[in-house]
């Protein structure tokens, strides 16, 4: 999450976690959404780098990368939880 600052990263993390939970039909709290979104941002950055996908820096790019990473994280956690 380059170029968004500390508070921007928190807001993007919460939004990414919320979007991921709604897209997978789950229900979490605000803190869990923040944690999932922030971990998802790192996972998304690794995935996008490995796949050589370039996303424009800033709010929208960071939100896209974080959301994709959060969805992958929740999906993988769902596989292990069952």
Give the residue numbers spanning the domain of 61: 5-81
Mean pLDDT within 66-82: 90
Give whole-number Cα distances, 17 to 14, 45, 51, 77, 82, in Å: 5, 15, 22, 14, 21
Radius of gyration of the chain (CA): 12
DSSP state of 42: H
- pLDDT tens, 1-40? 556 778 888 888 889 999 999 998 888 888 888 899 899 9
**Crossing angle of helices 5-23/59-81, nearest 10°?**
50
Q: Give the predicted TM-score (pTM) of the model.
A: 0.87
Provide the domain count of the chain.
Answer: 1
For residue 25, count CB atoms less than 10 angstroms from its CB and return exposed for 0-12, middle for 13-18, buried for 19 or more: exposed
54 phi and psi, to 5 degrees?
Answer: -100, 125
């Amino acid at each position: 999450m380059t170029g968004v600052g500390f508070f921007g990263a928190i807001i993007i993390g919460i939004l990414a976690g919320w979007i991921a939970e709604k897209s997978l039909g789950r229900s979490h709290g605000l803190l869990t959404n923040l944690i999932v979104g922030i971990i998802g941002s790192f996972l998304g950055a690794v995935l996008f780098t490995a796949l050589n996908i370039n996303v424009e820096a800033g709010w929208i790019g960071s939100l896209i990368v974080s959301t994709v990473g959060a969805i992958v994280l929740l999906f993988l956690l769902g596989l292990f939880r069952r």
